Amino acid sequence: MKNVTSILITLPLLILLPLTASARVNGVQTTANVTVTSSTIWTVVSAKPFNTPNPQTCTVSGSADASNPNKKTLDNQYRFTLTMDNANPGIDGGCERLLEFDDNASIDDEDTKQIGSTCLFTNVGAGQHTVRWLVRKVAKTPAAPDMVVTDNSLTISCTDNPL
């Protein structure tokens, strides 16, 4: 009788669970090299189109390995950012991260640095969307050398039942 009672109590909860919230997870990862050449045009590191059936709240995470382009120059800076449905965002946004390589005299500087960012997108309407993990040089004189992103990942998690 105890097992029947447990099933009768649990069954309605299992039936209602899919009706109360839906979660979607998607993403992409690659080891293909991406070269960053501009301080005025964003370079797409990764992009992932996805579809939402109803309004959602989405969390997006991006990470990458960046190769030190020149161990003999100072202050080589690069901007990384996450966007949704925007291939050309402004700079200094909340999801943007700055990566800097410096030449330190008498020190064997790192060959690679890891960079990551996480961004929350609220009120994402139903329909087709594209999330992008972007990078560009920081505009300054002298310009930073071209940099190679050697591998990266982009993860999207959406739900219609935010906290």
Task: Give the CATH number of the domain where residue 142 resides.
Answer: 2.60.120.660
7 belongs to a structural domain: no
- Compute the distance between CA of residue 138 and CA of residue 57 in angstroms, rounded to an integer: 30
17 belongs to a structural domain: no
- Compute the distance between CA of residue 62 and CA of residue 156 in angstroms, rounded to an integer: 9
**What are the φ/ψ torsions at residue 10 (nearest 5 degrees)?**
-75, -35
Q: Containing domain of residue 112, as a range?
A: 22-159
10 belongs to a structural domain: no
Is-contact 41 136, C-beta < 8 A?
A: yes
111 belongs to a structural domain: yes
66 belongs to a structural domain: yes
1 belongs to a structural domain: no
The H-or-E segment that residue 13 falls in is: helix 2-20
Q: Give the count of domains, the chain.
A: 1
pLDDT (tens place) for every residue of the chain, 163 residues total = 554 444 444 434 334 344 446 778 899 999 999 999 999 999 999 999 999 999 999 999 999 999 988 766 677 899 999 999 999 999 999 999 999 988 777 777 788 999 999 999 999 999 999 999 999 999 886 788 899 999 999 999 999 887 7
12 belongs to a structural domain: no
